[in-house]
Structure 1
Amino acid sequence: MRQYGVDCLNLYERLMAYFMWEWSKIQEDGADLENAYGPGMTGLINIGSSCYMNSVLQSFLLVPDFCNRFGGANALRTMHALPPADMYMDFNGQLARLVHAMLEGEYSLPDNPHNGIKPTQFKRIAGAGHPEFKTARQQDAEEYVRYLIEKITAKTPAGVSDPMLAFKFHKEERLQDLNTRKVRYTQNEETVLAIPVLKSSLHAIPDQEGRFSACFKECLANVFEPEQIEDRYLKSVTFKSFPDFLIVQLQKFTVDEATYQQKKLDIDLAVPDVLDLSQYRSLGGLQPGETPMEENEPIVVAAPKLDVDENIVAQLEGMGFSRNAALKAALDTKTQGLEAAAEWLMLRLDDPSINDPPVNPAGPVNVNPGSSVDNESVSMLEGFGFTKHQARFALHKFNFDANMAAEWLFMHIDEVPPEPAAEEKPVAHQETSTGVNQMRDGNGKYHLVGFISHMGSSPHSGHYVAHLLRGNRWVLYNDEKVAYSQNPPKQLAYLYLYRRQ
C-alpha cells in the first residue's frame, strides 16, 4: 500500500490509539469507581459477545411497565403458571425469571463471590429463529432493541397490557405532490428516533486528529426538515404521539460510499439532559385548504440514470460487444478502467442474458400496493433491517435486482416515500377495543436517564456498556461489573434513553 501513499503502520497506530482512548473514556478506566450493590444493580455475565443484550436489558429496567410485567408478583405468577418442562423453553417465563433476579438483588451483595447472573437460557430462547441473534457473534444494540421490543409485544397474552407501549409512538409522514399540490398523510408505528449526523454540523476537535464534534440541535432539526424527493414530492415527518420513554439513536455508523462497508464516525455530541420536542408535534393530519391524494394514487418516482463512463462503453462496443453488455460491464466494474471491464465481459461470454438491458432502466417507477415482488428478495432485504415497503420500493426501482436494491437502500433510505394508505398496517391499539393496549401520548418534554455506548469500529464488533441514572447518581453497567459513575461520557454514546418529565 505504500506505493499508493498509504502508511499502513501509521494508520494502524492511529486507530489503535483512538480505540484505546475510547475504551478508557467510556469505561472510566483509571477512576476509583465505587461498586454498586442491591436491587437493580445486578450485573449480567458476558456469555460470549452478549454485552449488547446485557446493556439493553439493564436499560429496560428503568421502565416501570417492563419491571411490573416481568418482576415482582407478576414474575412469580408467570413462572408458577408454567409446567417445569414448558418453563425452560418459554420466552415470558425465562424473561420473568431473569428480570425478577435482577430486581431482587440476591446476586448483587458485597463480598459475595457469586454475584452476577448468566442469562444463557434467555439469550437462547430470545434469539431462537433469528439468523443473527441466535449466534454468539456481536450484534448492533439498536437492532436488538427493536427486535426485543417486537418480541415482547408478540409474546404478550391477550388482555395483558403490552409493557413495550412505553417506548412506542406514532410518526406522521406528510407527502405533497409538487405538481398537483395534493397531499397524503400516513402514520407509522416507531420505537426509536434515529438521528443522522450531518456533515455540515461537524467541527474538528483541536489537538485530536480525526475527531469531530457535532451540534445535536442541528442534527435533530434536520430529521424534521422537509425533504424534496426526485423533484416531484416534498416529504416531512412529525410526532403524532409522544411515548413515555423515548429511545434516541445517534447514527454513528454510516456506509462508506466507495466500499459499501460500515464505518464509525469519531464524534463528540453535546447531548442535552433536557429535551423538548414539542415543536415537532403533528398539527393533526389534513389541514384546511389541503386536498388529499386519491386513496390508490400511485407514487411515481423516476429511476436513477445509469452512471457509467461512456468512453469505456464506446471502447467496449468497438471491440464488438453490444451496448447492453458494455453498459453492464462498465456499471459492475465502476471506476476500475477498460481492462477490468473487458475482463468482466470475457468471463461472461457464455451468459445468455449478457445482451439483455441493464437492470436499471431509465423511466418512471410506479409503486402500487398490489404490485408483485419476489417474496424471497423482500425477505432478504428485511433481514438487513429494512421494512417490507422499503424493500418493495427498491426492488421496483431496480427491476427486482436484490443486490442493487440493497446497495441503494443503504445509501438512500431517506428517499423512500411514505407507505401508501392501502399498505398501512394496523397498530397495536386497533386490535382491541378494551383500551388495554392503546398508544400512549403526553407532553414532548424529556429528561435523559440512560445511554448505551459502543467501543470499536463496527456495531458488530467491539464492546457495549450502559450508564443509567439511579436516583440522582449515574451507574455504569459493564456486564457483571456495576459501579457508580464519576464522569458519565454522555457525548460518546450510541443510544440514549429519555423519560417524559
Structure 2
Amino acid sequence: MRNLGNSCYLNSCVQVLFNIPDFINKYPTQAQHYFSQTELSAAAHSFNFQMAKLGQGLLSGDYSKESDPNSEYAVHNGISPNLFKLVVGQGHHEFSSKKQQDVHEYLLHLFMHIERNSRGKENPLDSLRFKVEERRQCTESKCVSYTDVSDNYILSLPVPMEHAQNTEEVAKYEKLQRELSDQGKHITKPNVSLVVPDVLDLTSFKGQGRQTGEDEFPPDDRPDAAATPEVVLDEGVISQLMDMGFGMESCKRAVFHTKNTGAESAMNWIMEHMGDADFADPFVPPGAAASAKSLTPFVADENGLQLLMAMGFSKYRLKAFISHMGTSTDVGHYVCHINKDGRWVIYNDEKVAESKNPPKDLAYVYLYESMD
C-alpha cells in the first residue's frame, strides 16, 4: 500500500485486518455483491464498497508484482487508499487530516464504522469480541458480586517497566524523565523490550463466575447499588432515537451511558455498541433492584461446561503485530509484521519483505489467533 503522507498507520491496520478470515469472508469474498448492490454515484462514499475494494485488491496480488522493464504495460506498485481514507475519516478532524495518528485509536474508530455498517448482518468484529469478568468481594462478609464488561476488542495493558529486557536503556529514560519533568519539559517515549510469547495460554485467566461456597450480595447491599441515585432518562431523546428505528431498551441504555447529553452523543454510542450481546436486553440501571428472576442462582450444565473447556479457546498463537518508530505515537512511522505460513513478513507501506528477526519485543499492538 502506498503512503499518502503519514498514512502508514492506516496501511498497517488494514494489512493486519485482512489477514483475519472473518474480515476476508465479509469483504473481499463478497466483493461482487457490494459492487453490484451499490450505485456508481454512491460507491465513493460507501464504507462496505471501499472495504471490499481495498480487501480484494490486497488479496489479488495484482499490486505486488515486480516491474518488467521490457513490458509496455505499467505495473501497479501498491494500492493508494485515497477513497478508503476519505470515507473512514469523514467528519473526524484528526483522521481526515494528513497528520500521523495513533494506530490504536484508529483501529477503534475503524471498528465503529464496521459496527455501524454490519447492523443485523454478518459482523467480522465478532471474531475479536470478548468479555471481561469483574469480581468484587466484601472483606467483612466475604459476599461477592460478578459483572461482565462486554464489547471489548482490544485488551490494553500497562507496560511493566520492571520486566523490561533493556534495563539500562529504561533506567536512562527514567532518570532523564525525572530531570526534564522538574524543568517542565516534554520527554519522548521509551523503547521497552519485553518478552512476548509466541503462544499465549490464558487458561488461568478465564472467568469462572460464582464458585461453589460463595454467597452473593443481597440486592440492596451490592457494591454497585450502594450510593447510586435514581436515574432520570431524557424521554425526548429516547423518542428521537426510537423514531430512527432503534428499540426502546437500547435507546434507554444509550441515553444512560451518555448521561443525557443529547441525541447526537446517544446515537454515536448506539453505533459503537450495537454489537453488544446485551444491546437489546431489558435495561436495568446499575444499582437498581434486581428482579427475583435475576437473583436465581445460575447452575451450569456440567457436560456443557466440560465441552467448552475442551474446545481450547484459552490458547492463542501470535499472528501479527504493529510496531511504531518515533518519539511519540503522533509522529514517526508504523510498520506491521504478519506470520504468513510460518514465515514472518514485514509490511512497510509498499515495501514487503521477509523478516528474519521480527522485533516482537518492541511492538505496540499484538494480534493473537485461537489455536482451536
Q: What is the TM-score normalised by the length of structure 2?
A: 0.70
8 Å CA contact 1:185–1:286 kept in 2: the answer is no
- Determine the structure 1 residue equivalent to 2:125: 164
> Per the alignment, do residues 299 and 125 of structure 1 end up closer, same or farther by CA in structure 2, a change over 3 Å counting?
same
> Per the alignment, do residues 200 and 485 of structure 1 end up closer, same or farther by CA in structure 2, a change over 3 Å counting?
closer
Q: Which has the higher contact order (CA 8 A, sep 6+)?
A: 1
Amino acid at match of 1:273: D
Following TM superposition, by how much is the alpha carbon of 1:483 offset from its aligned partner in structure 2, in angstroms? Answer: 1.2
Amino acid at match of 1:472: G
Please tell me whether residue 428 in structure 1 is matched to residue 286 in structure 2. no
Question: Structure 2 matches for 1:46-65, cutoff 5 A?
Answer: 46-65=3-22
Question: Structure 2 matches for 1:192-207, cutoff 5 A?
Answer: 192-202=154-164, 205=167
Following TM superposition, by how much is the alpha carbon of 1:428 offset from its aligned partner in structure 2, in angstroms? Answer: 3.0
Please tell me whether residue 266 in structure 1 is matched to residue 191 in structure 2. yes
**Distance in 1, Cα, partners of 2:218 & 2:189:** 40
- Determine the structure 1 residue equivalent to 2:153: 191
- Determine the structure 1 residue equivalent to 2:2: 45
**Distance in 1, Cα, partners of 2:33 & 2:103:** 30
Please tell me whether residue 497 in structure 1 is matched to residue 345 in structure 2. no
What fraction of aligned residue pairs are identical, expressed as a percent?
34
Q: Equivalent of 2:57, from 101, 114, 126?
A: 101
- Determine the structure 2 residue equivalent to 1:70: 27
CA distances 1:266-289 after superposition (whole Å, capped 9, x unpaired) = 211111111101110011246533
> Per the alignment, do residues 161 and 266 of structure 1 end up closer, same or farther by CA in structure 2, a change over 3 Å counting?
same
Structure showing greater radius of gyration is 1
CA distances 1:124-153 after superposition (whole Å, capped 9, x unpaired) = 111122232222211111111222123212
- Indicate the SS of the match to 2:157: strand
**Distance in 1, Cα, partners of 2:43 & 2:211:** 49
- Indicate the SS of the match to 2:319: strand
Following TM superposition, by how much is the alpha carbon of 1:76 offset from its aligned partner in structure 2, in angstroms? Answer: 1.2
Please tell me whether residue 133 in structure 1 is matched to residue 95 in structure 2. yes
- Determine the structure 2 residue equivalent to 1:370: 231
Please tell me whether residue 145 in structure 1 is matched to residue 107 in structure 2. yes
Q: Equivalent of 1:466, from 308, 327, 336?
A: 336
- Determine the structure 2 residue equivalent to 1:476: 346
* Structure 2: unaligned runs, 5 residues or longer: 68-73, 175-179, 234-253, 260-272, 282-310
Amino acid at match of 2:155: L
> Per the alignment, do residues 468 and 297 of structure 1 end up closer, same or farther by CA in structure 2, a change over 3 Å counting?
same
8 Å CA contact 1:262–1:458 kept in 2: the answer is no
8 Å CA contact 2:16–2:336 kept in 1: the answer is yes
Question: Structure 2 matches for 1:7-46, cutoff 5 A?
Answer: 44-46=1-3
**Structure 1 stretch displaced more, 105-114 or 486-495:** 105-114
Please tell me whether residue 289 in structure 1 is matched to residue 214 in structure 2. yes
Following TM superposition, by how much is the alpha carbon of 1:432 offset from its aligned partner in structure 2, in angstroms? Answer: 8.1
> Per the alignment, do residues 296 and 149 of structure 1 end up closer, same or farther by CA in structure 2, a change over 3 Å counting?
farther
CA distances 1:137-170 after superposition (whole Å, capped 9, x unpaired) = 1111111122212321221142x22111111101
Following TM superposition, by how much is the alpha carbon of 1:191 offset from its aligned partner in structure 2, in angstroms? Answer: 0.8
> Per the alignment, do residues 290 and 154 of structure 1 end up closer, same or farther by CA in structure 2, a change over 3 Å counting?
same
- Indicate the SS of the match to 1:171: strand
- Determine the structure 1 residue equivalent to 2:325: 455
Following TM superposition, by how much is the alpha carbon of 1:297 offset from its aligned partner in structure 2, in angstroms? Answer: 5.1
8 Å CA contact 1:175–1:185 kept in 2: the answer is yes
Amino acid at match of 1:281: K
Amino acid at match of 2:12: S
> Per the alignment, do residues 279 and 108 of structure 1 end up closer, same or farther by CA in structure 2, a change over 3 Å counting?
same
Report the aligned-residue RMSD.
3.4
**Distance in 2, Cα, partners of 1:152 & 1:499:** 20
- Determine the structure 2 residue equivalent to 1:317: none
- Indicate the SS of the match to 2:193: strand
Q: What is the TM-score normalised by the length of structure 1?
A: 0.53
The number of equivalent residue pairs is 297
Amino acid at match of 1:176: Q
8 Å CA contact 2:164–2:170 kept in 1: the answer is no
Q: Equivalent of 1:118, from 80, 84, 87?
A: 80
8 Å CA contact 1:476–1:484 kept in 2: the answer is yes
**Distance in 2, Cα, partners of 1:388 & 1:490:** 42
Following TM superposition, by how much is the alpha carbon of 1:488 offset from its aligned partner in structure 2, in angstroms? Answer: 0.8
**Distance in 2, Cα, partners of 1:466 & 1:499:** 16
Q: Equivalent of 1:91, from 44, 47, 55?
A: 47
- Determine the structure 2 residue equivalent to 1:410: none
8 Å CA contact 1:211–1:266 kept in 2: the answer is no
**Distance in 1, Cα, partners of 2:153 & 2:181:** 28
Following TM superposition, by how much is the alpha carbon of 1:292 offset from its aligned partner in structure 2, in angstroms? Answer: 2.4
- Determine the structure 1 residue equivalent to 2:117: 155
> Per the alignment, do residues 427 and 68 of structure 1 end up closer, same or farther by CA in structure 2, a change over 3 Å counting?
closer
Higher strand share: 1
